[in-house]
A and B are shown apart, each in its own frame.
Chain A
Amino acid sequence: MDAAAAQLAGRAATAVGRGAIRIEDVVKIYDPEGAAVMAVDHCTLDINAGEICMIVGPSGCGKTTLLNAVEGFHEITSGRILLDGEVLCSTENPKAAPGSDRIVVFQNGALFPWKSNLENIAFGPVMQGKLSRAEANEKALNMMADAGLSGVEHNYPGEVSSGMRRRVEIVRALMNDPKVLLLDEPYRALDSLTKSVMHEALLEIYYKNRVTIFFITHDLEEAIFLGHKVAIMTTRPCRPKKILDVDIPHPRDYSVLTSRRFRELMEETNEAVHEEALKAFAAGEKEG
C-alpha cells in the first residue's frame, strides 16, 4: 500500500479538494400544474471532494432525478446545488448547464454505436478543442492500456461485451478530467460475476484519478463495498433516510465482502433499505 493510497484510507480529503457537491434542500415536482408528482422532497446531502458517495434506494424513488438535476438535464423546483462552492442551479436559475466537469455514465450505456471505441473515448477533448485528434488518440490509447482495454480500440461498441462497454464509457468520461463522475446504476444489467470484476476495476481507476463519484444503485452490497459514504433514500418522494459512513479502509478488494466489518455494516442498514423496498413494492413503482 503506497503512501498515496494510505492517505486515501478511510475518509477522503475534504474542503480543499475538487468536486465537493452540496445538495441543499432541493425539491423537485414534476408537472406542477397538472399531476404534481413530487420526486425529491427537501433533500439535503453533502458529498466531500474525492469521495465515493453511493445513493441507494428502491426503483422509481427519485435518485435519477437528483443525478439529472446535478448534471443539468432537469430543472429543480427549489433549493440549491453547489459544486466546490459555485452554484450550479437554484430556485432562480433552476437548470444547471451540462458540462464536462460533471460527466454521467448512463444506465443503459451511451457509447455512440457508430464510432469506434477509440473515437468514443477521444470524443470529449476533440469536441471541446482541447486536444488535436492525434493528441487525443494518443492519450486515449494510453488510458485504455491503463484500464486494461488494449486490443479493442478499433472495434465498435456493439462488438464487445457489456462489461467492456461500461469500462470504455468510464474511460471516455475520465479523459476530460472531470471533477465528478455521476454513475446511474451502471452495473445493473450485468451478472454478479462480471459485476464484482467491474467493481474492482472501478476502484482501480478511482485510485489513480481521485474524482468524486456519485453512484446510484439499488444494491446495498455494491454500495457498502465501493463507497466511503452510503446514503439510503426513502421511496418517492426521496430524501436521505439514513447516511452511513463506511469505515472499511481503502484500497479494498473482494475479500472485503466476507469481512466481519462488512457484515456488521450490512446488518445496520439492511432493515432501513428493506423497509423502503417494501413501501415501493406496495406502491407499484415502475423503474425509472
Chain B
Amino acid sequence: MNIRTFRIGGIHPEENKLSNDAVTQVAALPKQAIFPLSQHIGAPAKPVVAKGDKVKVGTLIAEAGGFVSAPIFSSVSGTVFKIDTAIDATGYRKPVIIINVEGDEWEESIDRSDKLETVKAHPELTPEEIVNRIKAAGVVGMGGACFPTFIKLCPPPTAKAECVIINAVECEPYITADFRLMMEHADEILVGLELLMKGAKVTKGYIGIETNKMPAIELLTRKCAEAFSASEYSVEVVPLKQRYPQGGEKQLVDAVIRRQVPAPPAIPVNVGAIVQNVGTAYAVYEAVMKNKPLFERYTTVTGKRLQKPSNFLVRMGTPMKDLIDACGGMPEGDNKLLAGGPMMGKALTSVEVPICKGTNSVTIISGEEAVRKEPNPCIRCAKCVSACPMGLEPYLLAKLAAVKNWERAEQEDVVSCIECGSCQFTCPAHRPLLDNIRQAKTTVMGIIRARAAAAQKK
C-alpha cells in the first residue's frame, strides 16, 4: 500500500481514540433545545418563528442571513419558548432560539426509511438541483469550520474544479465520530460523494483516511469497488500516514493530489480540489435523497477520566451537559471542557452550551493535563519552524505579535496560519506561540480588510 502524507511540518500527538469501538448511540431528546443563530461562517441566520409558534422536527426556524450563511432547522418538535441570548461555542452570549420539546413529530416531507437511494435512480437530480437542495437544507462543513457547502460547489469563474476530496482523516486526537460514521453508513457516504461530484461537475473523487482507521479503509475500498466499478465516476480511497494536521484542507490536498495551495486568498479549488468532510457527504446524502435538513450530527463525547467515552447521533440544540451525563457525568475535580478536540477545540466555561452544526466532539481534559506549563524563554531551537505545516516561522510571528509589529507580521505571511497549534504543541519551552500568532492574524486580517474597503471607496 502506498501511504502518503503532506510534505511540510506536522506532528504526531498521542491519539487517545478512546471511543473507537463505541457503537453510535442515539442521544435522548433534550427537554429544551437551544439554536444559536450563528452556527456557520458568515452572516447569522434570521429567525422566522416567534414566541409560542409550534414547530416540528425539520421545520425552518431561521433563514440564511446573506449569501455566505445557512438556514437553521428545528431538530425537535415543540413550542418556541423565546428568542433570547445564551452562551454558544464562542464563549459569549449570542442570539438564540429556544424551543421547549414536546413529543417527537417530524415534518412529513422527510423520508425516514432506511432504504438506500442511488443517484442513478434519480435522473431528475441535475447539478443545479443538487446544489439548490444542499443550500436549502442548510448543509455546512461538518468538520468544524462550518463553511456553507453549496458555495464550495460553485467555485469562482477563475478556478476550475477537477476533483472532490472527502476528508475522513480525523487527525485530531480523541475524536472518533467520523470513524464511526464511516463504519455505520459507508453506502450513504459514497452516494453523498457521488452527489457532491455531480454537483461540482467532476468525475474524480478521493477519500483520504489515516491508517489508524484500517477497518474504515478496507470497508470503503471494498464498497467503492462495488459502487463505482461500472460508472463514469472514479473514486479512490487514499490511505494516509498519521500526521496532524492532515485534516487541514491544504494539507489534505497536498497529501492526496500532491498540489500545494498558494497563500490566501487562494483556496483549494484554485488547484482544482474541492474538499468536503465525510460528515458533510453524509449530510448531503440525507439532504438531497431523504429531503432531511441538517439538524442532527455524529458527535464524540470523550475524555480520559470520563466513565464511558461514547459516540452519539445527537439532535442539534442539545446541551452538552445531557451528553456528558449520558457518559457517566462530569469527572470530579477541575476539568477543561472543549468543543472539539484537544488541538483545535475551543475551551468553554459552561456545560449548557448546545451542540451545533460544527460540534464534532466534546472533549474533557481533567486535572493537571488541563493546565499549561509555565513558559520559559525562547532559545531559538526552531522546533516550531519544523513543525509548522504552512512553512511559517512561529517563533518570529509570536515575537512580532508581542511587540505589535503588524506590518512585518503581514510580510511574514501571518494570515497563512491555520491555527493548528503544532508550534505550541512542539515548543519545549511551553511558550504561548499560537495565542500570540492568533492576535497578529486577527489584527492583520482586519488591516487588510480595511485597506481593501478603502481601495474600493476610491
Q: Do A and B assemble together? A: no
* Interface residue ranges, A against B (CB under 8 Å): none
* Interface residue ranges, B against A (CB under 8 Å): none
